[in-house]
Structure 1
Amino acid sequence: MVKTININEKDYLAYTTYAFKRLSGSQQQKGAAFIKTVAIWCILAIAFMFMFRINSISLSSFHWPSAALTTLPFMAFIIVYFVNMHKLQKSSIPNENGMILGEKTIEFKSEGIIEIGSLSKCFYKWESIGSLEENNGDIYLFVDKLIALIIPARYFSSDVEKEELKTIVRTNTGDHIFRHGRLEN
């Protein structure tokens, strides 16, 4: 099987988002879950503060301006953190038509995978494939914890073709792919 693809900035950002979530192990923890977790911790903190003031457990005696002032630095930190992470992600986008972005041909052979780009030619033995993972239709063939061959969903003419690629990978990696990673559909 031979695939000619063109990896763009959007494909790369989708990949890096997935890869970092994969590394942190928090694929289930998304935006709404994060906000829910923060809210629960805030409620627990307020409940803990009330425990030390058992004789006056009324909300009217709680000093809300102090609570808001105490919360403000933490909220500022969280906002600055997410802004900086977004800037870091944007600044780490590879060069257009470089080693990662741009047009390349990926050839799947019995010996391994050959990836040919405008600036490179790489050969990956089947043993180097740690896992094959799918994210929103895109296929990622991980050759390391953070490095993967990216095949965007738009380059598959059908689900049958995508399944054919998965079968080729399964056939050539044997159970190796199951020992070192996960094969997801």
Structure 2
Amino acid sequence: MITLNYKLTKEDYISFFLQVAWLSPEKKTRLIKSYVYRAIVFTAMLFFVKIFSPQKNFDLYFFYSILIVILIIISPLFKMADIYRKQVNQLSENPLNANFFSDIQINIAETGIFSKNQFAETRYQWEGIVKKEENKEYYFLYLSTEQAILIPKRALKSELEKQQVEKLFGEHISFNAEVGHLVKG
């Protein structure tokens, strides 16, 4: 059994929220597709309005209108990280969410993951982890599409502890949870 003690920071939660809502490959693809689809629909609507209007000439004003509509629809994609950061800042400043930032103890063992803070104790079975993602700073162990156990890698005290954690993940997290999300189209 490996015991990790840490406290999540506002920056940790921002990273978690960005990962869950934006950086996760399937979420990002779906979000981009929805914005592009909206841009295509609105552009097509402008074309149909112009085609069925008494003046059928496509002047420079018409093309500028299309460009402006597309930019208005697609521009939030380029500010998505800032939009999510603002939402997380509002969430983290709410005193009712203080439990997100309390001291956490996580025990990772053959039988599962046990998490404890001053407000709750939770036991997760390995079968409950539906997806695992990681970046250079965190492990994200998803319990659903929106809920995950966030483990900062800074909580690992040594390279040996990191290897032990990754060994337990490799032995107990299903292959589909490890790589399934990377191959789905």
Q: TM-score, normalised by structure 2?
A: 0.63
Contact 1:129 1:177 in 2 (8 A): yes
Q: Percent identity?
A: 16
Name the counterpart of 1:62: 60
What is the match of residue 161 of structure 1? Answer: 161
Gaps of 5+ in 1: none
Cα shift at 1:152:
1.2
Matches within 5 A, 1:105-120: 105-120=105-120
- Deviation of 1:166 after TM superposition, in Å, equals 1.7
Q: Which residue of 2 is the match for residue 7 of structure 1?
A: 8
Using the alignment, how far apart are the partners of 2:60 and 2:177 within structure 1? 57
Task: Tell me, in whole angstroms, the C-alpha distance in 1 between the residues paired with 2:132 and 2:169.
Answer: 8
Higher relative helix content:
2
Q: Give ranges in structure 2 of 5+ residues lacking alignment.
A: 52-56
Cα 1:10–1:169 shift into 2, 3 Å: same
Cα root mean square deviation, aligned: 4.7
* Secondary structure at the counterpart of residue 116 of structure 2: strand
The runs of 4+ residues in structure 1 deviating greater than 6 Å are none
Shift of 1:149: 1.2
CA separation in 1, counterparts of 2:104 and 2:84?
Answer: 29
Q: Is 2:148 the partner of 1:148?
A: yes
Q: 2: CA distance between counterparts of 1:15 and 1:62?
A: 45
Q: Deviations over 1:21-64 (max 9, x none)?
A: 256725479xxx99xx8xxx8xx99xx8xxx9xxx99xxx7359
State the TM-score, normalized to the length of structure 1: 0.63
The answer as to whether partners of 2:138 and 2:153 remain within 8 angstroms in 1 is yes
Aligned residues: 170
> Residue 130 of structure 1 corresponds to which residue in structure 2?
130
| 1:34-113 equivalent positions in 2, closer than 5 A | 62-63=60-61, 67=65, 71=68, 75=72, 78=75, 86-93=85-92, 95=95, 98-113=98-113
Instruction: Tell me: CA distance 1:95–1:77, structure 2 relative to 1, closer, same or farther (3 Å).
Output: farther
Contact 1:106 1:114 in 2 (8 A): yes
Which stretch shows the higher mean deviation, 170-179 or 109-118? 170-179
